[in-house]
A and B are shown apart, each in its own frame.
Chain A
Amino acid sequence: MHVLTSHPGVFAHGLLVTLHLSAATFLLAAAVGLLLAVCRICPVRPLRLFAALYVSAVRGVPLLVLLTLFVFGLPEIGVVYSLFWTVVTAMGLYWAAFLCETVRAGVRSVPPGQTEAARALGLTFGQVLRCVVVPQALRATVQPLASLLIAVVLNSSLAAAVGVTQELTGQTVLLDQRYAQPLFTFAAAAACYVLLTLAIGRTAAVLERRLAVLR
């Protein structure tokens, strides 16, 4: 137990890096994912094709393969920047494919009659999206997006496998190597992740209720 009490700072720092990593990843994934979702439903065929191929290809590649490709592969063609942001790029591009599908499913959850009615009223594409589809789709995507965020947080641990050992899982392993108290170190790290997951789930539930009232 003394490992934990004497090294709370190591865990806190690891947790902080994990949060930083996850937040950056999720924001990038949101930006790219929304762009992909728009591409998938826009009337420009090459964009639609690109988005569709991107999503199906990226969802078939394991995240760790993508990470190794970015961290160790890209420098081979002259693309090198900080390790942390390389990892964020790889993870962001990976989760963008999933986010795109989540958003699309949300948009599809809006009954077609709604959009047809809106179009009958003469609303433009932008107006249909802004006034009719998005407000309704948003509510339907709160839970899936929360699950996605949880997945992002849990999988941010893979960064440790490609050298970002400052995050929670990496710190846990280093602590274990140094003090050989696996039971306590791993249990404490697991507890951290469980708490994080619970917090995200709770927030999502509250958010969903708020949005439901708005509707």
Chain B
Amino acid sequence: MTSSLREPRTEHLYGEDAYPDRPPRARSGTTAAGRGTRQRLPHRLSAALDHIDGDDLRLFDEPGPRARRRAAVLTAASLVLFTALLAWVLRQFAAHGQLDPAKWRLFGQWPVLRYLLDSLAATVQVTLVSGAIALPLGILLALARLSGTGWLSRPAATYVEVLRAVPLLLLVYAFLLGLPAAGLRLPLFWQLVWPIALTNAAVFAEIFRAAVRALPAGQREAALALGFGHAQTLRLVLLPQAAQQSAPALVSQSVRLLKDSTLGYVVSFLELLNAAKVLGEFNHTVIQSYLVVALVFVVVNGALAHGAARLERRPAGRRTTARAARPPG
């Protein structure tokens, strides 16, 4: 995967926009200025749309007249299809009285909003606390696995492989039903946090280990040649670089942590999804409550993913400038 592919393409690949230099088609009765604004708006819109759908694959030639016609027909057909789909969904909602404004207005009322915000806070709390446990634990596991000492690396490897192969739900149930039988007592919050943290520690460990192993071999060899020991090589050369490399993946993983917190639904911990259930039951707004909660998750996770993408682009940019600064040859 070359980095050039990653950069967002600004030019458009299909249709007329592919030839920005081509003189605009003559339009009778428009002034130059008028034409300018009319051209710019669709162009900007199309650039914005490009940003969303991101067509960064060059699999086709510039379409000829026939291909363009076919694309136009397909565009129209798909638009009709989507409209029909939306109409059907709305009709189903309306037919079962789910479009009743009263059922939706509910989510604008402060007591309901506060209830949802409280549970969102609980969700975030679970995410943060389990992340705060999983991250250092993951790093320790990765270090143990990379240590090259059998009695350290083998248990760490076993832990990582097993925890990545056991469903989180099973672990949550094991903590909920198994631990009390074993005489261990944990508050509900921790019965949810520990399974999430333990599972994700294994994932974090793998992310971190992959980042260390992806570093060029020359880094390690150079450090060893300088007379650094194994620990020093790790601490001074490999880890700082690996930390920077794995940052975006770690942030993306936080999306998963947040998603995992919904298992509170299973153990009766009042997080966002469980709150939606209570709300939907009380107000007879089942589908509305779940939809609103789904929307909240999309928004929060979208923001997190955005952060990850920004992190990913930054170090790449720094590397490019470094390369550019180097004298050619």
Contact = CB atoms under 8 A, between A and B. Distances in A.
In the complex, are there CB atoms of A and B closer than 8 Å?
yes
A65 B294 contact: yes
Contacts of B265: 64, 68, 161
Contact of A65 (B54, B63, B297): B297
A189 interface: yes
A47 B280 CA distance: 34
A161 B260 CA distance: 13
Interface residues of A, number: 70
| Interface band, chain B | 35 or more
B181 A45 contact: no
Nearest to B166: A190
Task: Identify whether the interface residues of B are mostly helix, strand, loop, or mixed.
Answer: helix
A65 B166 contact: no
A111 B2 contact: yes
B169 A158 contact: yes
Contacts of A173: 173, 177
Interface stretch (A55-63, A81-89, A204-212): A55-63
A182 B174 contact: yes
Contacts of A196: 165
B301 A43 contact: no
B286 A182 contact: no
Given A40-B53, A161-B169, A69 B290 contact: yes
Contact of B55 (A41, A74, A105, A155): A41
B152 interface: no
A40 B54 CA distance: 8
Interface string A27-47: 000000000000011111111
Interface in B249-300: 255, 258-260, 262-263, 265-266, 273, 276-277, 280, 286-287, 290-291, 293-294, 297-300
B166 A193 contact: yes
Interface in B69-83: 71, 74-75, 78-79, 82
A19 interface: no
A72 B286 contact: yes
A183 B259 contact: no
A9 interface: no
A138 interface: no
Contact of A45 (B49, B162, B166, B305): B49
Given A64-B273, A77-B287, A161-B266, A49 B52 contact: yes
Contact of A189 (B82, B93, B170, B260): B170
Interface string A169-186: 100110011001011001
Which of A40, A69, A77, A186 counts the most B-chain CB atoms under 10 A from its CB? Answer: A77
B60 interface: yes
B162 A44 contact: no
Contacts of A176: 173, 177-178
Contacts of B54: 52
Contacts of B167: 154-158, 169, 193
A66 interface: yes
Contacts of A158: 167, 169
A194 B60 contact: no
Contacts of B41: none
B67 interface: yes
Contact of A77 (B98, B258, B277): B98
A79 B93 CA distance: 10
Contact of A182 (B164, B177, B258, B293): B177
A48 to B, nearest CB: 4
A115 B58 CA distance: 7
Interface of A: 40-53, 56-57, 59-66, 68-69, 72-74, 76-79, 105, 107-109, 111-112, 115-116, 119, 125, 128-129, 133, 150, 154-158, 160-161, 169, 172-173, 176-177, 180, 182-183, 186, 189-190, 193-194, 196-198
12 contacts: A42-B74, A43-B14, A44-B75, A49-B53, A50-B82, A69-B287, A73-B287, A108-B1, A125-B59, A156-B167, A157-B167, A186-B173
Given A47-B78, A52-B54, A68-B265, 20 more contacts: A41-B57, A42-B74, A44-B75, A47-B74, A60-B302, A62-B260, A65-B293, A65-B294, A69-B294, A108-B57, A111-B2, A154-B166, A154-B168, A158-B169, A183-B181, A183-B182, A190-B166, A193-B166, A194-B166, A196-B165
Interface of B: 1-2, 5, 14-15, 49, 52-61, 63, 67, 71, 74-75, 78-79, 82, 89, 92-93, 95-96, 98, 161-162, 164-170, 173-174, 177-178, 181-182, 255, 258-260, 262-263, 265-266, 273, 276-277, 280, 286-287, 290-291, 293-294, 297-302, 305
